[in-house]
Amino acid sequence: MLYNYNEVIKKFKSDYNLKKALKNKSIYKIESGIYSEQPNIHYLSIIEKKYPYAVVSGLSAYYYYGFTDVIPEKITLCTSRNSTNINNNEIKQIRMKDELYILGITSYEYEGVTIKIYNKERLLIDLVRYKNKIGYDLYKEIITNYRKIIDELDMSLIEEYLNVFKEGEKFYKILMDEVF
């Protein structure tokens, strides 16, 4: 189990007891402000604990879902515009309006860790939205993998999401031409 500093202090009652527990290895300091009962923790567990308001998106999400084998240089996390800055060189933060931020948030298990991530329908729309930013080859790979699971996608959900985007009709036409 992971703890932030306040939670670990509650558990051990004082900073002194925490230091004793760290010394006798009944708790481990994973990084600043993050503690665990186990010495080795999956990096996604740490991210989920540190940034519970963030949602995995972009190339990271496509990778975790298996749409691409290209490992992203940074983990892409979406947050609300009003969220605090994420100051971490390994994370790319994308801020968005609340009505877009909340659209399609789901849970997904990756390597034994449950992460907050956008669903496949939302990510398909994002793929079309950012088509020119990710490169032709990567776009083609992801679209090809989406075509393989076309029967699993909820078309009514995609249509509902498209109504929220300003250019929803344009994205719909692209989806019909390139995926469906």
22 with 59, same domain: the answer is no
28 with 53, same domain: the answer is no
| Chain CA centroid to CA 91, Å | 10
Rounded mean pLDDT of 149-162?
Answer: 96
Give percent of the chain with pLDDT exceeding 90: 97
55 with 25, same domain: the answer is no
Per-residue pLDDT at 95 exceeds 90:
yes
For 32-45, write each residue's pLDDT tens digit.
999 999 999 999 99
* pTM for this model (two decimals): 0.91
78 with 154, same domain: the answer is yes
Instruction: Provide the domain limits for residue 6.
Output: 2-41
Q: Across the chain, what does the average pLDDT equal?
A: 96
18 with 50, same domain: the answer is no
92 with 133, same domain: the answer is yes
Rounded mean pLDDT of 52-67?
Answer: 97
133 with 155, same domain: the answer is yes
For 126-136, write each residue's pLDDT tens digit.
999 999 999 99
Total number of domains in the chain: 2
| pLDDT value, residue 180 | 84
Rounded mean pLDDT of 84-89?
Answer: 94
Per-residue pLDDT at 179 exceeds 90:
no
Rounded mean pLDDT of 162-172?
Answer: 94
Per-residue pLDDT at 118 exceeds 90:
yes
69 with 116, same domain: the answer is yes
For the sheet with 91-96, list strands across it: 91-96, 75-80, 55-56, 113-118, 105-110
Rounded mean pLDDT of 153-169?
Answer: 95
17 with 55, same domain: the answer is no
| pLDDT value, residue 77 | 98
142, two tokens:
């992801």
Helices (H), the chain: 5-12, 15-23, 43-50, 58-65, 98-101, 120-129, 131-134, 136-148, 155-162, 168-178
68 with 134, same domain: the answer is yes
89 with 169, same domain: the answer is yes
51 with 21, same domain: the answer is no
